[in-house]
């Protein structure tokens, strides 16, 4: 069996911000009624956090839950435990209409750190990234240039970006290009 690798192992760029491949991440798409008590309990057990409110990210070490839409969460788990987490969710949600799928190998994650990350993402995304509109613990599902992406703030100077693995090189180069250009957006 071959060894799993992230989409761009070791990729890094230093400019206005530092951009790095975040490595392998366990990611599970969970769809269902987010208000259902059984689903809430299953998320708490699997991710160690409550079901997040709209546009929120709740993180606990390598685990967490990100709100993606009114009926969808992205559950984060250690990569090696992703299949086990799917099985636990499916078992806990027996009899409840839901979908739990391991999407880890279909995604790429990049970590951006540095005070200028809003400037970098502001050049690529239509999302309002002003501190009043997007602060720590928030998530946005949007696009970067012309591809689907989501990003969430880990802390004031750190954000993570997730995209489809098939466009990982394109997204990394978009981010690096935006971080290499010194002209600010000027809104942040």
| Predicted confidence (pLDDT) per residue in 143-163, tens digit | 999 999 999 998 889 999 999
Whether this model's pTM surpasses 0.85? yes
d(CA 87, CA 66): 19
| Predicted confidence (pLDDT) per residue in 69-117, tens digit | 999 999 999 999 999 999 999 999 999 999 999 999 999 999 999 999 9
User: How many degrees, rounded to 5, is the angle at CA 117 between CA 103 and CA 167?
Assistant: 35
- In the prediction, which pLDDT does 1 show? 58
- In the prediction, which pLDDT does 61 show? 86
Q: Are 21 and 110 in contact (CB under 8 A)?
A: yes
User: How many degrees, rounded to 5, is the angle at CA 103 between CA 101 and CA 108?
Assistant: 165
Which domains are assigned to the chain? 12-23+106-180 (3.30.1360.120), 26-105 (3.30.70.1520)
- In the prediction, which pLDDT does 93 show? 98
How many CB atoms within 10 Å of residue 44?
Answer: 14
């Amino acid at each position: 069996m071959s060894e799993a690798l992230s989409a761009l192992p070791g990729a890094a760029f230093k400019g206005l911000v530092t951009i790095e491949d975040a490595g392998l991440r366990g990611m599970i798409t969970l769809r269902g009624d987010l208000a259902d008590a059984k689903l809430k309990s299953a998320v708490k057990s699997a991710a160690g956090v409550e079901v997040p409110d709209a546009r929120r990210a709740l993180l606990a070490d390598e685990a967490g839950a990100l709100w993606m839409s009114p009926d969808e969460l992205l559950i984060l788990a250690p990569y090696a435990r992703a299949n086990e987490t799917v099985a636990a969710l499916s078992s806990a949600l027996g009899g409840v209409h839901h979908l739990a799928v391991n999407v880890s190998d279909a995604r790429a994650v990049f970590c951006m750190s540095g005070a200028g990350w809003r400037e970098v993402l502001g050049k690529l995304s239509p999302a309002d990234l002003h501190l009043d509109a997007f602060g720590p613990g928030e998530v946005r599902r949007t696009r970067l240039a012309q591809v689907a992406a989501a990003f969430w703030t880990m802390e004031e100077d750190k954000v993570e970006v997730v995209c489809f693995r098939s466009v990982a090189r394109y997204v990394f180069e978009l981010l690096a290009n935006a971080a290499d250009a010194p002209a600010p957006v000027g809104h942040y």
